[in-house]
Structure 1
Amino acid sequence: MKTSIELNEELVKEALRLTNIQTEQELINFALAELIRNRKKRNLLELSGQIQFSTDYDYKALRENRNVSD
């Protein structure tokens, strides 16, 4: 996708220096990927404490039952 945007030159210089990325296009793609990764991780962290686990859940028994049918 070709887009024309005006970027903060100081931010671009600093980001290029910190990442050792050579081009602004690579930098923007990297920044977008990082944004997406961080948001997904944050969304997972927001689930913390909202999932209720059964205290009598026996994953070992479940594994044993699964292998019997193979």
Structure 2
Amino acid sequence: MATNLAIDVNLLDEALHISGLKTKKETVNQALKEFIQRRKQREIIALFGKLPQDNDYDYKQGRK
């Protein structure tokens, strides 16, 4: 899907340099993936302390 976007050239150039990726397309796609990943992590973090605890769970059993 071809899309025309007005992207800040300075930001894109800096992201391209920092990422070490070869193309602007790769850089934008990577940035979008990281953005989505961070937002999903925030949703998970917001759940800490809000879910019921499983008192029968044995974390040591998973180490074997």
Which bin holds the TM-score, normalised by the shorter protein?
0.7 to 0.9
Q: TM-score, normalised by structure 2?
A: 0.80
CA distance in 1 between counterparts of 2:50 and 2:34 reads: 26
Query: RMSD across aligned C-alpha pairs, in angstroms?
Result: 1.6
| Count of paired positions | 59
- The structure whose Rg is larger is 1
Identity %: 34
Output the CA distance in 1 between the equivalents of 2:57 and 2:10.
53
CA distance in 2 between counterparts of 1:52 and 1:58 reads 12
Runs of 4+ in 1 over 2 A off after TM superposition: 57-60
Gapped regions of structure 1 (runs ≥ 5): 64-70
| TM-score between both structures, scaled by the size of structure 1 | 0.74
CA distance in 1, matches of 2:25, 2:7: 12
Q: Aligned letter for 1:9?
A: V
Q: Which has the higher contact order (CA 8 A, sep 6+)?
A: 2
Question: Which one-letter code corresponds to 2:56 in the other structure?
Answer: D
1:45 equivalent to 2:8? Answer no
Which residue of structure 1 lines up, in the alignment, with residue 56 of structure 2? 58
Name the CA distance, whole Å, in 2 between partners of 1:14 and 1:38. 20
